[in-house]
Structure 1
Amino acid sequence: MTLADFQITRYQFRGDRPIGDSQVRSEVVHVAALELIDDAGRSGLAFIQSLFVTLPSQTELERLFAAEWWPALQGRPAAGLVHKVGKPRGGRNRPAMLPAGEAVQVALWDLFGKQMDMPLWRLLGGEEDRASVPCYASGLDFHLDDDAFCELFGTADALGYSAFKIKVGHADFDRDLHRLDLLRRSVRKGATVMIDANEAWGAKEALMKI
């Protein structure tokens, strides 16, 4: 059950809405699907993402991965690689030009679970009697107008979410308060509400505004 091949598929497309916070905005998705394939044909899937910069071409992605990542993976078992975390520093060590480290880890775990014929939650020691895991809806909503904001969180509420996180940190604090009021009116009563200013506030300002 060793790694025998890899496949990368590049995607670039305009999202259905702008995403971002008080610091950044993104309207185009730059992502590549990474598949690590073992000698039995099973594959582990993960994604390489670049939020603001176009990824290299398909050919260049394949070349970079083959040069920077594949030599340390080829012919080795996923089971032996999932716990191998290396953070080289100094000397001749340089960061890879292709930011695939997290994708490699996720793909290895996905493949390892398939090789063991076990879902990852069980492989990682999840509780057998636990039926669900709490989660929340995060909007990346800073650049949406009010109507789109309400529609987004109203849809999330209809899907069953009971906790929500919105982006704040606008130069006009009244706008942040207005968005919180819109959220309250868009989701169920008693919902858990979280805010994220993304470094727009210093510590003293955060204490005052919260």
Structure 2
Amino acid sequence: MISNIKNIRIHCFDYPRDRVIGDSQITSTNVWIGALQIFDTNGLSGLGFFQSLTAPLPSANVIKSILESTCLDGILGQSPEALIHKISRPRGGNIQHLPYHLDQAIDQALWDLTAKRVNLPLFKLLGGDQGKVKAYGSGVCFHLSDQEVTNFYTSALQHNFSGYKVKVGHSELAWDIKRLQLVSEIIGKDKLLMIDANEAWSPKEAIFKIRAYEKAGLDIFWIEDPILRHDIAGLQEVKAGLKDTYLNAGEYLPLSGKKALVDNNAADILNIHGDFSAALKIGWLCAEKGIPIALGNTPMEMGAHIASALPETVYTEHSMLNWDYIIDKPFAVKDGYILLPDDSGHGLTLSEQAIKELKPSCA
């Protein structure tokens, strides 16, 4: 007998971060993360995550009400295998953007549940055959002091990442240069240095800043999101103006926006995130044109499953965030690689101990 989706469960967590994270635009002091579980009639479950960076999540009851009023009717009673392949027709009033990345949480949970139902690790269900993926260390450290930055990157060296990323975009060029020189000295010249401006600049300013970094003796592997996400012409200008630095873009864009970057040759490396279904689609386009892919931050590094499945992926971001506290067993990191578990599904389970201690709202 076919087992379909029976119900969902929501947990909303709120606890302090182990360090202040942020970029040139935002600051985040707390982990506001939610877990969404989808259960089938046989008792198997899939797990996905949603979050808020700058303000607390509403209660689990409110989140569940949002889902009930928007999409839950289209999920209950269905098979996850059908839902992960379903093509929707967005028109008029049915274009509803779910808050807090709830759409990604649903997608993650459906893929996790589907992989469990066929008893495969998720990366294998997605078509991957590598049980480890290359990662880079990311500090998300714009608001930390020099000493705090020194402590973080010194500690991150234990993972032996081959590259490390630093947030830039300060109003004072000298501040950026000092921060980059500090991290470069810590990681050494044998490691790649990436930077992320989070749309802080104009196209001409971005080119000027990169050239200033180069004059200061800094070798930058890639610059991520230097200008506004939708500025195709501006991104093309930046890309053409860079000499030895790659342009990484697409983090903030939906699938259609990422496709526009590919179609217009407006990025050297395309940045994607934790929506498995969208990643497979954009991965096909990148493979067709030979455009490298970078996996940005995903909850608990579950995007490593996507990285294994997409041959164009060059790096997966690992920010060493303490959101891992709410799961039983984080993915291991060894010699610069994220190791994928051989369990069915994505291999992440909620920690009952964390639920007991943090007492999240549940629905």
Same fold (TM over 0.5): yes
Is the Cα contact below 8 Å between 1:44 and 1:110 reproduced in 2? yes
Deviation beyond 3 Å, 4+ runs, structure 1: 91-99
CA distance in 2, matches of 1:177, 1:21: 16
For structure 1, the residue ranges without an aligned partner over 5 or more in a row are none
Q: CA deviation at 1:61?
A: 2.0
The structure having more radius of gyration, on CA atoms, is: 1
Is the Cα contact below 8 Å between 1:5 and 1:37 reproduced in 2? yes
Q: CA deviation at 1:91?
A: 3.8
| Equivalent residue, structure 1, for 2:168 | 168
CA distance in 2, matches of 1:159, 1:140: 17
| Equivalent residue, structure 2, for 1:32 | 34
Q: CA deviation at 1:132?
A: 2.8
Greater Cα offset, 97-106 or 83-92: 83-92
Q: In the superposition, relative to structure 1, how do residues 77 and 133 fare at CA in structure 2: closer, same or farther (>3 Å)? A: same
Matched, 1:193 2:193: yes
CA distance in 2, matches of 1:206, 1:97: 31
Q: In the superposition, relative to structure 1, how do residues 174 and 97 fare at CA in structure 2: closer, same or farther (>3 Å)? A: closer
Is the Cα contact below 8 Å between 1:168 and 1:195 reproduced in 2? yes
Which digits, 9 at most, give the CA deviation of each residue in 1:90-136, with x for residues without a partner? 24654446651111001101111111110111111113xx4532111
One-letter code aligned to 1:88: P
One-letter code aligned to 1:141: C
| Equivalent residue, structure 1, for 2:15 | 13
CA distance in 2, matches of 1:44, 1:123: 14
CA distance in 2, matches of 1:68, 1:161: 42
Q: CA deviation at 1:59?
A: 2.1
One-letter code aligned to 2:106: V
| Equivalent residue, structure 1, for 2:229 | none
Q: CA deviation at 1:143?
A: 0.3
One-letter code aligned to 2:172: D
| Equivalent residue, structure 1, for 2:106 | 104
Is the Cα contact below 8 Å between 1:165 and 1:195 reproduced in 2? yes
CA distance in 2, matches of 1:84, 1:166: 38
Is the Cα contact below 8 Å between 1:169 and 1:176 reproduced in 2? yes
Kindly report which structure 2 residues correspond to 1:135-174, keeping only aligned pairs within 5 A, or say none.
135-174=135-174
Alignment TM-score, normalising by the size of structure 1: 0.91
Is the Cα contact below 8 Å between 1:157 and 1:188 reproduced in 2? no
Greater Cα offset, 68-77 or 95-104: 95-104
| Equivalent residue, structure 1, for 2:123 | 121
| Equivalent residue, structure 1, for 2:319 | none
> Secondary structure of 1:142's partner?
coil
For structure 2, the residue ranges without an aligned partner over 5 or more in a row are 211-363
Is the Cα contact below 8 Å between 1:65 and 1:98 reproduced in 2? no
Is the Cα contact below 8 Å between 2:51 and 2:100 reproduced in 1? no
Q: In the superposition, relative to structure 1, how do residues 106 and 62 fare at CA in structure 2: closer, same or farther (>3 Å)? A: same
Q: In the superposition, relative to structure 1, how do residues 14 and 87 fare at CA in structure 2: closer, same or farther (>3 Å)? A: farther
One-letter code aligned to 2:196: D
One-letter code aligned to 1:190: D
CA distance in 1, matches of 2:107, 2:87: 9
